[in-house]
Amino acid sequence: MQDAPHCIGCGGKLQNTDKTAPFYTPKALDTEETVYCMRCFRMRNYGEVMPTYLSREDYLDMMLSIPKEVLIANVIDVFDIEGSILPQLHKLTQGNRLMVIANKRDLLPKSVKDAKLKHKINTILHAYGLKPEKILLISAEKRWGIDELIETLQADAKKLDIYVVGTANVGKSTIINHMISSVMQKNEAPITTFHGPGTTQDFIKIPFFDTTLYDTPGLIKKNHLYNLLEDTDLKLVQPKKEVKPRSYQLEVNQTIFAGGLLRMDFLKGLPTTFTFYIAPEVTLHRTKMINADQFYEKHVGGILKPPQDPKNAFEFKVHQFPLKRDQKTDIVVPGLGFFSVKGTGVLRIHTPKTIDAYQRESLI
């Protein structure tokens, strides 16, 4: 008996017997036409938010089933590097080659030189034990660098299968759709894409010149705001174009809020400029630290948004970071963005309880 076909949009194994089960389609399974499961159909045609079927354990099992002697093309979000690094990637690269595709280059200032940006990204990746052969900067949204990516993959794969991996929402499927469109010279996007995480559900096999390319599911990381935000709030934290820096001069004992998602207290140091790179829909507000608790309770969901509903306010946990006199530092919150500061002092960072913040050498 022939195996059931897979959904062209998410890779799930189709079935037409149980409407409540994953990957249902009302169509015959032996049809020659392109078939989407109902989940993909509703996401593509109505923009509905649909649940993911893939558990974290299933995802890890799938990733570990990737064979040796392949080319791993790891897509990261250049605006959310730490939030888009796969914790298991070092295991996948044992016996495999690694290329990193840094997507969403259009969100960072054009004034930043690509060579400098690649160097900074490489430094961050090395801290996670990752040593890519190449780093390519692209923008799937703007279609920047797609032709170069195709040429590089074709040349570097040397007939090895290519597995495109990454965390949820980094743009893997959008990139592959652009590649399909460019190679076939057709304006078609067969793979389902969506602004929320967990769209691809299984390996999607795609012929690619003299080899095979596989789109893979994205891991929904625990340490990421995507796990916590409602769909309408999720849209607000995802910038759509180049993020303009917003700078604030702070003195000791002042606080700045980034919506209801981040609170930064300036505990110690000389008056210093803090520059924020986050989506413009996320409000920033400076206040006195002594009143910060009451300010948050009063204004979350109002002038502090997202979240847009005060009922979705978060309980915070606290991190503390020292500043170095001669080093410009970024503080990164996965899924939100980052802010930069240079000078001596001590910062206290409040993030939602399941979210860790990171300190790194400045990216910009």
Which tens digits make up the pLDDT trace of 247-277?
A: 999 999 999 999 999 999 999 999 999 999 9
Least confident of 171-175, 287-291, 337-341: 171-175
Instruction: Tell me the residue type at 251.
Output: E
pTM value is 0.81
Query: What CA–CA distance (Å, rounded) separates 188 from 185?
Result: 9
CA separation, residue 183 to residues 147, 186, 206, 309 (Å): 9, 8, 12, 45
**Tens digits of residue pLDDT in 91-110:** 777 778 999 999 999 999 99
- Of 166, 215, 162, the closest CA to residue 191 belongs to 215
Query: What CA–CA distance (Å, rounded) separates 97 from 215?
Result: 17
49 has a pLDDT exceeding 70: no
Token pair in block for residue 93: 């690269």
pLDDT of residue 75: 96
Q: Is 187 exposed, middle or buried (0-12, 13-18, 19+ CB in 10 A)?
A: exposed
Query: What CA–CA distance (Å, rounded) separates 265 from 345?
Result: 11
Q: Is 308 exposed, middle or buried (0-12, 13-18, 19+ CB in 10 A)?
A: middle
Got the DSSP string for 293-350? HHHHHHHBTTTB-SSSSGGG---EEEEEEEE-TT-EEEEEETTTEEEEEESSEEEEEE
pLDDT of residue 184: 65
Q: Is 354 exposed, middle or buried (0-12, 13-18, 19+ CB in 10 A)?
A: middle
90 has a pLDDT exceeding 50: yes
pLDDT of residue 279: 97
142 has a pLDDT exceeding 80: yes
pLDDT of residue 191: 43
Query: What CA–CA distance (Å, rounded) separates 35 from 13?
Result: 11
State the number of CA atoms in the 13 A half-sphere of 262 facing the CB. Answer: 31
Q: Other C-beta atoms within 10 Å of 324: how many?
A: 13
Angle at 321 between CA 315 and CA 322, to 5 degrees: 155
Query: What CA–CA distance (Å, rounded) separates 323 from 25?
Result: 56
Token pair in block for residue 179: 């590649």
Tell me the pLDDT band of 2, cut-offs 50, 70 and 90: very low
pLDDT of residue 202: 63
Q: 287 Cβ partners below 8 Å, 6+ apart?
A: 254, 255, 256, 257, 295
pLDDT of residue 196: 43
pLDDT of residue 186: 54
- Of 168, 165, 74, the closest CA to residue 121 belongs to 74
Helix (H, G, I), strand (E, B) or coil at 58: helix
Tell me the pLDDT band of 198, cut-offs 50, 70 and 90: very low
Indicate the average pLDDT of the chain: 86
- Are 26 and 174 within 8 A, CB to CB? no
Tell me the pLDDT band of 179, cut-offs 50, 70 and 90: confident
Q: 134 Cβ partners below 8 Å, 6+ apart?
A: 99, 100, 152, 156
Q: Which domains does the chain have, with CATH numbers?
A: 1-51 (no CATH), 54-221 (3.40.50.300), 237-361 (no CATH)
88 has a pLDDT exceeding 90: no
**Tens digits of residue pLDDT in 291-327:** 999 999 999 999 999 999 999 999 999 999 999 888 8
